[in-house]
A and B are shown apart, each in its own frame.
Chain A
Amino acid sequence: MSKHQYAMVMDLNKCLGCQTCTIACKKLWTDRDGTGYMYWNNVETRPGLGYPRQWDRIGGGWKDGMLQPSPLPTMEDYGYPWEYNYEQRLYEGSRKPVMPSPAPTSGVNWDEDVGSMNGDENYFFYVPRICNHCTYPACLEACPRKAIYKREEDGIVVIDQDRCQGYRYCIKACPYKKIYFNEVTGRSEKCIFCYPRLEKGMVNACAAQCPGRLRFVGLLDDPDSPVHKLVLKYRIALPLFPEKGTQPNVFYVPPFNPPKRETYGKSILEDPRLPLDYLIYLFGPDVKDVIVRLEAELSRAQNGGPSELLQLLIGRDAQTRYHVRPQLVQIQG
């Protein structure tokens, strides 16, 4: 068990699906050979296929203390990275428009904003996803090389690129399919929770760049941290698919109050625009209690009462949203 645990909370009510986090991560970490198809951070539209598509249905994780089987997603499931023929258009005199190659047939967030119908109303919301840096990582258990370890000082799960042999048992074991095989290096890689930034006192790149200010970062075991307050004190943030048994350390404030036409002000429990069953599918049965708590808090604030929780969720400044503790690692020295 780690001495401390970094965690992230994402407020899905604030995510605008702009993918700035995705690009921040991509430019920083996966702009290398072999990494074109990888998005350590992706934002997917829900309901939807997800990335890699159908990741939530293909397996992995724990059940009754046993790892669960899963196939490997295919490149078609992730989407091949495509390139544009700028050279021909700009420098070689081609009159044809710039076209992607290979012809795209799938990709990250291929079904962006498609959503689903609830009666005669469309609905969808965005779910940004990174590695969950689980308390009981299935990937770590599955690796015969012992190449994956959970950092004792802060609970971040990383893959030792010297020990990894690219066997891909970890990819099968991860129920969130957040590990990617790099065929050029012959090794697997994943989100590192920006630990080199945290060690310098800077927050994760995906959080720093988020225009929606929906990400909160800190130690789950630090009572002053926003993640501790949201997850443990106010209990309004939940992990994705808790039944997978890995105990994620990335949590979500569920979307709880999108108005339906002509019934503004009614709650999701009274007149849901988002079917509650779908939220239960994603976040487990506790999501109902979370929505009740959020609505009670909102009602109190609308009646003029104070609400530390809503002030925290607004997250006006970086000091409110992030409690990064670089000294953790320096002490380890």
Chain B
Amino acid sequence: MRTFRFFILALALPSLGASVVAQTPATPAPGQSLRAAASGATSDSLLNGGPAAWVQIPAKRVSLNRTPPLYETDEPAAQEISTAEVRIARTAGKLVVQLSWRDVTQDTATLKQVPNTPPETRFRKVQTEADDRFFDAAAVMFPAKSSSDALGPSLQMGDADHPVEIYYWNAARVAMLMQAQGRGTTRRTGQSFPAAAAYQNGQWTVTFELPELSAGTPMAFAVWNGSQEDRDGRKYFSVWQVLE
């Protein structure tokens, strides 16, 4: 099995500038691997078929960590979300990942669609409804290219030699594919991807359609809680999990 590295973020550190951290090489400890179950279902039915499409797919509970305060003006944030459940289905040419977590506040909105006509030709403009709300979000990150290095990408959005792809879903905006090669370099590619989300009984269930990924690929997960003003690195994150 390929080796990889991950960072342990010391939660007490006052800023990330001073952080980083112990590298832990070698094989993942028990519980840091993810099983992808082969599924005869189509990715469309996995995305939109509801819980019934997923009954055969085993769930793995993944611990979520809270990033430490990143900026000197940040108040420390409570750990409101401690775990997420991950289900992975391998289907024709796709990897479909379902992430579910408990979140007592559903932070979402239906943003008004902007017409295709230029604003100067319209008597009325679409208006900003609120300037101070943040939406729930989630993401799956994995290396953009396979690597024979002994070390995998940094957990902090990869690094210059190990770019990462981030499949980002947001409760109020379109799902978007992002790329990064280190902290602060994340950029939108302009591409979207199929995703589906449901909020029920205080729980988000979000399904991502990813490309086929080979066994041994490390994957990491992140969850943002809008009511905690989460955005950017202010979030919950898992350490790398290796796809079996």
Partner-B contacts on A (CB < 8 A): 31-38, 66-75, 78, 80-81, 83, 142, 144-146, 163, 165-169, 171-173, 180-184, 186
Q: Would you give the shortest CB distance from B144 to chain A, in whole angstroms?
A: 19
CA distance A142 to B74 in the complex (A): 11
Q: Say yes or no: B131 contacts A73, CB within 8 Å.
A: yes
Q: Say yes or no: A184 contacts B128, CB within 8 Å.
A: yes
CA distance A31 to B126 in the complex (A): 10
Query: Residue A144 contacts which of B112, B126, B127, B184 (CB distance < 8 angstroms)?
Result: B184
Q: Would you give the shortest CB distance from A300 to chain B, in whole angstroms?
A: 48
The B contact surface, by secondary structure, is loop
Q: Would you give the shortest CB distance from B34 to chain A, in whole angstroms?
A: 28
Q: Would you give the shortest CB distance from B161 to chain A, in whole angstroms?
A: 21
Query: Of B130, B132, B184, B187, which is in contact with the most chain A CB atoms at under 10 Å from its CB?
Result: B132
CA distance A78 to B127 in the complex (A): 13
A69-B131 contact, Cβ under 8 Å, with A144-B233, A165-B232, A184-B126: no
A69-B130 contact, Cβ under 8 Å, with A33-B125, A167-B232: no
Q: Say yes or no: B114 contacts A184, CB within 8 Å.
A: yes
Chain A neighbourhood of B130, CB < 8 A: 74-75, 183
The answer, yes or no, to whether B145 is at the interface (CB within 8 Å) is: no
Q: Say yes or no: A36 contacts B125, CB within 8 Å.
A: yes
Q: Would you give the shortest CB distance from B153 to chain A, in whole angstroms?
A: 19
A35-B128 contact, Cβ under 8 Å, with A68-B73, A144-B184: yes
The answer, yes or no, to whether B173 is at the interface (CB within 8 Å) is: yes
Chain B neighbourhood of A180, CB < 8 A: 131
Query: Residue B124 contacts which of A35, A83, A165, A181 (CB distance < 8 angstroms)?
Result: A83
Q: Contact flags (1/0) for B113-152 with A, using CB distance below 8 Å? A: 0100001100011111111100000000000000000000
Categorize the interface residue count of chain B: 20 to 34
The answer, yes or no, to whether B53 is at the interface (CB within 8 Å) is: no
The answer, yes or no, to whether B94 is at the interface (CB within 8 Å) is: no
Q: Say yes or no: A78 contacts B131, CB within 8 Å.
A: yes
Query: Residue B127 contacts which of A34, A74, A167, A171 (CB distance < 8 angstroms)?
Result: A34
CA distance A146 to B114 in the complex (A): 28
Query: Of B114, B126, B131, B233, which is in contact with the most chain A CB atoms at under 10 Å from its CB?
Result: B131
Chain B neighbourhood of A163, CB < 8 A: 187
Q: Say yes or no: B73 contacts A183, CB within 8 Å.
A: no
Q: Say yes or no: A183 contacts B173, CB within 8 Å.
A: no
Q: Would you give the shortest CB distance from A63 to chain B, in whole angstroms?
A: 11
Q: Say yes or no: B132 contacts A74, CB within 8 Å.
A: yes
CA distance A145 to B127 in the complex (A): 25
Q: Known A-B contacts: A31-B119, A144-B184. Give 19 more (CB < 8 A).
A: A33-B119, A34-B126, A37-B127, A38-B128, A67-B72, A68-B73, A69-B75, A74-B131, A142-B71, A144-B70, A145-B232, A165-B231, A168-B131, A173-B73, A181-B128, A181-B131, A184-B114, A184-B128, A186-B173
Q: Say yes or no: A67 contacts B73, CB within 8 Å.
A: yes
Q: Say yes or no: B132 contacts A167, CB within 8 Å.
A: no
Interface residues of B in 82-138 (CB under 8 A from A): 111-112, 114, 119-120, 124-132
Chain B neighbourhood of A142, CB < 8 A: 71, 73
Q: Say yes or no: A32 contacts B73, CB within 8 Å.
A: no
- Interface CB pairs A-B, < 8 A, 7: A32-B125, A67-B73, A74-B132, A80-B127, A169-B232, A181-B132, A182-B128
